Structure 1
């Protein structure tokens, strides 16, 4: 049960990053795509760090 909140936050972060990438591609905006990629990478890094710290 203690893993529900971190998993939910990771899922929301990934969804927002992917949405940023998709909308940046549709709007032809490289800045929005970059922000989406950075958000996805940061979410993955923080998710892995949290998983490793939890044991």
Structure 2
């Protein structure tokens, strides 16, 4: 049960970071802000790397 809760929490964090990064990319493009787009890309990459490295091992 504890492992399922940890997995759900990690999944929620990764999905939230992906949504935040995607929103930053879209809003940065609408406002013509290359810095915000770059931050959005970095957030998406960090979320993807974190998800791939996370194994859920106790």
TM-score by length of 1: 0.89
Which structure 1 residue ranges, 4+ long, deviate > 2 Å from structure 2?
none
Q: Describe how 1:1-55 pairs up with structure 2 within 5 A.
A: 1=4, 2-51=6-55, 54=57
Higher relative contact order (CA 8 A, sep 6+): 2
| Residue ranges of structure 1 left out of the alignment (5+ in a row) | none
Q: How many residues end up aligned between the 2 structures?
A: 53
Answer with 1 or 2: which has the greater Rg: 2
1:17 deviation in Å?
Answer: 0.2
Q: Give ranges in structure 2 of 5+ residues lacking alignment.
A: none
For the aligned residues, what is the CA RMSD? 1.1
